[in-house]
Amino acid sequence: MENLSRRKALSLGVALGLVGVAGPAQAWASTGSVTGADAGTGPEWIWDDAADPLMVSMLDNGHVPAINTAWASWVNNNDPLPTGLPAEFSAYLGQVNRLPSWADPTKLARAADFNRRRDTYLFMLYGLGSGIMSTVIPREAKSVYWSAGGAQMQDRAAKTFTFGYDLSQLGAFEPTGQFVVTANKTRVVHAAVRHLLPQSPHWRAVADETVPISAADILVTFHSLGTYVHRKLLDWRIPYPAADQEAFLHSWQVAINLLGVPYEHIPLTWAAAEKQSAQVLTPILTPSTEGIALAEDLLGLTAQIDLGVTRGFINEFVRYVLSDEVGDWLGLKRDYVSAALVRTAWPAYVLFREGLSPVMPGTFYMFDQFVRALAMLFLNKGSSGTTTPITIPTGNRANRVG
């Protein structure tokens, strides 16, 4: 059984471009972090010493509704801290609402420009790659499903998309950007969920951890996003110079740290990130009842707006970017006509967009519209707003739907 599991992990690792799968326990002892030093305690045993006790107090004392009201207008990085917050909560935000001292403004500016230039691929990979991959990360899928947001997946998807969208914006880390605020709100939500989910008998019945969203879990999510996208851009042979690669990684290093992951656990290089990903992400990918339901919810959202494509096309694009193995796990029905279209037209689309081919494929307009519609689907539920409100939950999902 162990050899079979390892063979499955290796085959999936090859499909996702993450090879060299090893034992997960080896990954957290790596010296390939931003400090270049071993950490004394593995991130699987680290949560958030600053935010967790704070949110226990805020939840137990009934302050969360007032916080959600007070911080609704707190959007841009240079916005003053909202008034009407409990003093303890306001003091916490005053301490964390800043970039780490090691953040490099030059690299962050280049990362913002890189995201602008590569937004087409980022939307597709974050939305139909990373987003669906999250449903076969068992801990993440179960935590999302049984949290309050799991019962309202379009709203939950909008909030998740906002994190990546704000990170990808020009000036994301500048005073007029929004990502520092978005990250701080997300960190607080994580802390609330850590307190709430262990109270759910449904989550406890399926979870293999007693407290969710450890630093290790956040790093796994980073690999399903940043590391995965990095590898796909290379696999698709999209021009991706070293300076862009370094800047893209740095933006993610800062993002992860803003979520509370200690900097000594953050990979220093893409090589270290890919090695860690092959050890801690690829081997754990597997379907779950919750994940299958979430994937169907997420893919079903695309029927709400006119993408100009069929569900079969979407299923096949997911298979293209994640593998047929993942598609089979999630029960994505095959559409072989769409499969042939995706596998031939998408590479041609990439070549033309990058100026590597003078021939515009006949499907160019369809792909371009598809990308834009996909982006707007998750941003404010398809509206033209510029931000999606992030609110702190006060409870869990009550029961299973369907």
pLDDT tens readout for residues 75-103: 999 999 999 999 999 999 999 999 999 99
Which of 164, 214, 170 is closest to 194 using CA atoms? 214
Q: Residue 228 corresponds to which amino acid?
A: Y
| Model confidence at 180: pLDDT above 90 | yes
d(CA 268, CA 223) in angstroms, rounded, equals 13
d(CA 281, CA 11) in angstroms, rounded, equals 13
Q: Which residues pair with 396 in a beta bridge?
A: 147
Q: How confident is the model at residue 23 (pLDDT cuts 50, 70, 90)?
A: very low
Top-confidence residue, 30 or 224? 224
Q: How confident is the model at residue 200 (pLDDT cuts 50, 70, 90)?
A: very high
Q: How confident is the model at residue 160 (pLDDT cuts 50, 70, 90)?
A: low
Top-confidence residue, 13 or 97? 97
pLDDT digit string, tens, across residues 53-82: 999 999 999 999 999 999 999 999 999 999
Please give the mean pLDDT across all residues of the chain. Answer: 85
pLDDT digit string, tens, across residues 267-316: 999 999 999 999 999 999 999 999 999 898 888 876 666 666 778 888 99
Q: How confident is the model at residue 19 (pLDDT cuts 50, 70, 90)?
A: very low
Interior/surface letters 288-303, b for 16+ CB within 10 angstroms, e for the rest: bebbbbbbbbbbebbe
Give the pLDDT mean for 32-42.
Answer: 53
The pLDDT of residue 70 is: 97
Alpha helices in 105-241 (DSSP H): 105-117, 119-124, 131-133, 138-146, 153-168, 179-196, 201-206, 215-222, 228-235
d(CA 385, CA 165) in angstroms, rounded, equals 12
The pLDDT of residue 14 is: 53
The pLDDT of residue 39 is: 44
DSSP per residue, 285-297: ----HHHHHHHHH
Q: How confident is the model at residue 27 (pLDDT cuts 50, 70, 90)?
A: low
Cα dihedral across residues 183, 29, 23, 206: positive or negative: negative
d(CA 241, CA 14) in angstroms, rounded, equals 23
Top-confidence residue, 318 or 36? 318
The pLDDT of residue 4 is: 45
pLDDT digit string, tens, across residues 244-263: 999 999 999 999 999 999 99
d(CA 322, CA 133) in angstroms, rounded, equals 7
